[in-house]
Amino acid sequence: GAVVSQHPSRVICKSGTSVKIECRSLDFQATTMFWYRQFPKQSLMLMATSNEGSKATYEQGVEKDKFLINHASLTLSTLTVTSAHPEDSSFYICSARDRLAGGQTQYFGPGTRLLVL
């Protein structure tokens, strides 16, 4: 149980285009999902907290208009990187909390590698 998937696993796009990344909880309901960014050889940095049916909460320094988050259902959150630029190239990871299991642990997706040319 507690499986989280992400799609796509990797994406290459041209500068100026938008990219959408999906995060799904496959076998549990997730009222809260989290989006992280990880640069090479660095730790995970929380970008935003995604709440089902409400607006996301962004961490300081994260542009909400650039990183659009939608959490329309209990099993799906999406992150859209708008007008992507090379500096947005990174590894993006989502995680989800199992609401019914008491939710103390976050389970992570396999990540999405984004390369902006």
Partner 1 sequence: AQTVTQSQPEMSVQEAETVTLSCTYDTSESDYYLFWYKQPPSRQMILVIRQEAYKQQNATENRFSVNFQKAAKSFSLKISDSQLGDAAMYFCAYRSADFGNEKLTFGTGTRLTIIP
Q: Name which position in 19, 30, 79, 93 contacts partner 1 (CB under 8 A).
A: 93
**Kind of pairing, strands 106-108 and 112-116?**
unpaired
What's the N-to-C CA distance of the chain in angstroms?
Answer: 37
Site mask for partner 1 (CB under 8 A), range 21-40, x = bound? -----------x-x---x--
Q: Say which residues have a Cβ less than 8 Å from residue 83's Cβ, sequence separation at least 6.
A: 16, 17, 18, 66
| CA 63 to each of CA 56, 80, 103: distance values in angstroms, whole numbers, following the listed order | 12, 12, 28
Which amino acid makes up residue 18? S
Minimum CB separation from partner 1 for residue 110, in Å?
5
Least separation in angstroms between CB 97 and partner 1: 6
Which of these segments, 11-19, 70-78, 79-87, 88-96, binds partner 1 (CB under 8 A)? Answer: 88-96
Among 28, 111, 114, 116, binds partner 1 (CB under 8 A): 111
Total residues at interface with partner 1 (CB under 8 A): 21
As a whole number of angstroms, the distance between CA 21 and CA 58 comes to 17
Q: Which residues bind partner 1 (CB under 8 A)?
A: 32, 34, 38, 42-46, 49, 91, 93, 95, 97, 103-108, 110-111
